[in-house]
Chains A and B, each alone.
Chain A
Amino acid sequence: MASNLFSRLIFWPRWFWRQLTSMRTALFLLLLLAIAAVPGSVYPQRSADPNGVRIFFDNNPDIAEVMDDFQLFDVYTSVWFSSIYILLFVSLVGCVFPRTKVHFEALRTQPVQTPQNLKRMPVFQKAQGQAGYLEAALEVLKSKHYKVAMHQDSVSAEKGYIKETGNLVFHFSLIGVLIAVGVGGGLSFSGQRVLVVGDSFVNNLASYDSFSPGPFFDEAQLEPFSVRLDDFQVLYDLQNPNNLGQPIDFIASVTSEGKSSEVRVNYPLEAPGASIYLTGNGFAPVITVFDGEGNVAFSGPSVFLPQDSNMTSLGVIKVPDALPKQVGIIAFFYPTAEQLESGAYTSIYPDPIDPLMTMNVYSGDLGLDEGVPKNVFALDTENLEVVASRDGPNDPIQLRIGETVELPNQLGKVRFDGLLRFASLDVAYNPGGIWVLLFALLALFSMGLSLMTPRRRIWVRRNKDGTIELAALARSDDPRLEEVLVEIRTVIESKVGSK
């Protein structure tokens, strides 16, 4: 009774395990994984396109909530996607370990016994019996790197164990890839920092604009190097008429630890414990604001965000120290300005050939004292008084480099001092990368080996009546099987004949 209960208790787990590690399940899970990956390419993902997710939420607030419950904006870290690949890898482990054991045994033991009925093999031939045929066969097969065994009246040989070896190494490498991805991701970090030409930053948490660490990241990992942006060059195509204004190259000249070097797209800078990538660029106009009492209330470069391929740029300047009233400015910068019929401006070329800045000016309480962090690239104008804008009481301010213009309502003056560029740098570190690569290459190599080498068994038997039977069997698709047997037979027979 007890043993019965016991066998019942282990029956289900065992049955389940056997199902999970069957080839059919592996196949099913692979296809499921492929299907499960699709939604992540249809809907914006938080990891790759957070802005897209925000826009999706704005456009479809109701469905978005529901979709979010199903983790459709985080597909690749979702419970359901993770379950599929974890199950797949559990299946993989359960499948590969027993096969490794079997394979090791096969490597150590002799080729299988010659089957009774060779006629049933896919390739079968009869030959004239001659003395020494079996011995010659043994020798020939051995010289062709078959593993051979002499039985009473037959020779059995096998070749191509490397096929299974390659297959197993391949599957183990996949486990290696997964572990390297997981561990590497855990220890990784990436941080973003915008640098205006002339500025520098030191590699510590406080100096990043945004920072995303992996779960095992430790602040001590950050090596204290510093980077200064000395110069930033953008080369545009000036030569080919229908390609005008296409960027040819972005070059950030930097000094790090006393050494100067370049960071370009595709060519990151190797810093101690991290690589530095160039991921964006734009203009940082230098502006000075004098308040109504004549004091310098603001001065310096401001990062303007590019809005289109001709680098129309948008910046926000907040001047909380201005007296008598706080001043907020939304500024547009046009590197090569052209006026549209509507009176608005646009930029027609990305390099500053005819630069112009226009400003919408607001005054009132900027709301910076409430302790709520504010987006530096946005100005909440709801509670502000419009001082100058296209549909305000005064026209927008227009400024060219070097000009100073009075603000309306005795708010003060603004001066456009000059123009700098900024570069967005990503600092990233992922120690898993190299291991992922190594395991992936190992997988590629072993898979190639496995798929390209055939595994063959060959038998030669002397019958009671003295005639010879030869047969061959392939363990996989093998179009050359028959040819190979004929070749071997020819060599054997020439050998026997020459004795």
Chain B
Amino acid sequence: MSTQPQLGVSEHSNTERWVAWSLMFGSYGSFLLLVIAGIVSVAGSTQWGLRLSTAGVVLMLATPALRLVATLLHFAAQKKWALALVCAVLLGIITLATLTGMYLH
């Protein structure tokens, strides 16, 4: 089955916008936290620097999952159930990976 991009089709553009926003929010937000963490650490507050660094790293780790949630919600709103199911399965795999990581700790 072809999955040729339907360039210029409004519903396709909406999906793209949701995906782009979620990626931008996660990655730029994380970058901002990491830069502030670096400044705070150099200024002398090591504990706050570490807290902010951890928050930045966790947000960066969560960005792909955030993108999947945004895509899932958008496909579900459009009643594209097959694609929404694929996103749900991907979130399931990622959740399983997180639980495995916690178990291995």
Answer yes or no: are A and B bound together in one complex: no
* A contact set with B: CB distance below 8 Å: none
* B contact set with A: CB distance below 8 Å: none
